């Protein structure tokens, strides 16, 4: 009989009836439940019925913390101070993706004594050993999930290392603000404060080059429906079937991005200290979720705040390095409101 480690699920609540559910496996956000003005409870992230289902699922990265390095690393190799490191290749056996075969999404995190669930605070800790998945340095990371009475949900991560290493993490929740079993997100309204995209190499790997998107279908600075984007005749959009792009944030403006459900009126605003956000409209999703509901293409949207993965193996690599005398900080605020 198969044996499993002990799964724990934690619940954060506020005075308005909003709840956030998390599990120690993968630091996964298993639910964000929003009470609407008409008394209905809407779960705005896709997910499964129990924490064990995430362990068993072959659907990658549902709701997890992805790392030690979010995004793709071409050929699974990089250099620090002229020393080459070889990471485990979990993307077609060619590249390293989202931390490798056993990244932060597939390990058990520990609940910290810093946690205070009665005050809406959960802190999960993980020690990534030196050479884990091929990365240099022992990395100690903690992620703080905080829910306040203004319906603001914070995902703040901090890390230290004993050897210079690279780090670029993200949360990989799939959002549907109409509800996780409501269908697709095509009629959601999306805003992204960005006028540049990260360019990919001919092989499809991230680069440190940016392209201007002003006046193109990729320009979301004037909020528009995802359907308007998807139904564009742009060949890049047609090929992928939706959004699969890293947006580089403009420095002006406080809100980096927002998303609004057309049926519920739930609006989510995102503020972050990160340079970019990878946006994925679940173009290839096919899974059975809560209560057997079928999650199909465009059932959710990932809004993955992160640094630029293409900085690796370039003159910009210092931007994604962490030295022993530094503390890595990844800060995010998700504010939920209602708008007609």
Cβ atoms of 107 and 26 within 8 Å: the answer is: yes
Give me the pLDDT at residue 60, please.
76
Q: What percent of the chain has pLDDT over 70?
A: 98
Distances (CA, A) of 263 to 20, 36, 191, 230, 266: 21, 11, 17, 19, 8
pLDDT band of residue 102 (cuts 50, 70, 90) is very high
Q: State yes or no: is 298 an active-site residue.
A: no
Residues 75-99, mean pLDDT to the nearest whole number: 96
Give me the pLDDT at residue 175, please.
98
Give me the pLDDT at residue 56, please.
86
Q: State yes or no: is 172 an active-site residue.
A: yes
- For 226-276, write each residue's pLDDT tens digit: 999 999 989 999 999 999 999 999 988 889 999 999 999 999 999 999 999
Cβ atoms of 215 and 296 within 8 Å: the answer is: no
pLDDT band of residue 57 (cuts 50, 70, 90) is confident
Catalytic residue among 142, 196, 304, 306: 304
Those residues whose C-beta lies under 8 Å from the C-beta of residue 107, and which sit 6 or more positions away, are: 25, 26, 126
pLDDT at 340 over 70: no
Which DSSP string corresponds to 268-323? EEEEESSSEEEEE--TT--EE-GGG-EE-TTS-EEEEEE--GGGTTSTTGGGGEE-
What the chain holds in terms of domains, given with CATH numbers, is 9-338 (2.70.98.10)
Q: How far apart are CA 177 and CA 41, in angstroms?
A: 11
Is the pTM higher than 0.85? yes
Place of tokens 């946006």: 279
- For 23-54, write each residue's pLDDT tens digit: 999 999 999 999 999 889 999 999 999 888 99
Cβ atoms of 134 and 86 within 8 Å: the answer is: yes
Closest-CA residue to 322 (of 106, 68, 96, 77) = 68
Cβ atoms of 302 and 245 within 8 Å: the answer is: no
Catalytic residue among 172, 188, 298, 330: 172
- For 163-203, write each residue's pLDDT tens digit: 999 999 999 999 999 999 999 999 999 999 999 999 999 98
């Amino acid at each position: 009989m198969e044996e499993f480690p002990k799964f724990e699920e934690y619940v954060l609540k506020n005075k308005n009836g909003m709840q956030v559910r998390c599990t120690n496996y993968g630091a996964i956000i298993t639910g964000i439940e929003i009470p609407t003005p008409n008394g209905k409870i809407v779960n705005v992230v896709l997910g499964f019925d129990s924490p064990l289902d995430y362990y068993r699922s072959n659907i990658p990265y549902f709701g997890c913390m992805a790392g030690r390095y979010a995004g793709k690393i071409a050929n699974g190799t990089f250099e620090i101070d002229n020393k080459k490191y070889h990471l485990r290749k979990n993307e077609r056996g060619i590249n390293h993706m989202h931390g490798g075969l056993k990244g932060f999404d597939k390990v058990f995190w520990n609940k910290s004594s810093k946690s205070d669930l009665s005050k809406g605070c959960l802190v999960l800790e993980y020690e990534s050993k030196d050479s884990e998945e091929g990365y240099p340095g022992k990395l100690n990371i903690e992620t703080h999930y905080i829910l306040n009475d203004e319906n603001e949900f914070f995902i703040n991560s901090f890390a230290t290392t004993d050897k210079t290493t690279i780090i670029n993490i993200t949360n990989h929740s799939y959002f549907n603000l109409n509800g996780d079993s409501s269908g697709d997100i095509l009629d959601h309204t999306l805003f992204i404060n960005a006028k540049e995209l990260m360019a990919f190499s001919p092989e499809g790997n991230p680069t440190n080059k940016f392209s201007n998107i002003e006046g193109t279908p990729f320009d979301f600075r004037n909020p528009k429906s995802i359907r308007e984007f998807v139904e564009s005749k742009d060949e890049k959009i047609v090929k992928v079937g939706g959004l699969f792009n890293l947006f580089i944030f403009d420095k002006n403006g406080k809100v980096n991005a927002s998303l609004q459900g057309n049926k519920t009126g739930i609006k989510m605003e995102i503020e972050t200290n990160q340079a970019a956000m990878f946006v994925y409209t679940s173009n290839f999703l096919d899974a059975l979720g809560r209560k057997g509901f079928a999650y199909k293409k465009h059932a959710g949207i990932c809004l993955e705040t992160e640094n630029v993965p293409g900085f690796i193996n370039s003159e910009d690599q210092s931007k994604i390095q962490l030295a022993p005398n530094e503390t890595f900080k990844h800060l995010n605020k998700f504010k939920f409101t209602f708008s007609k």
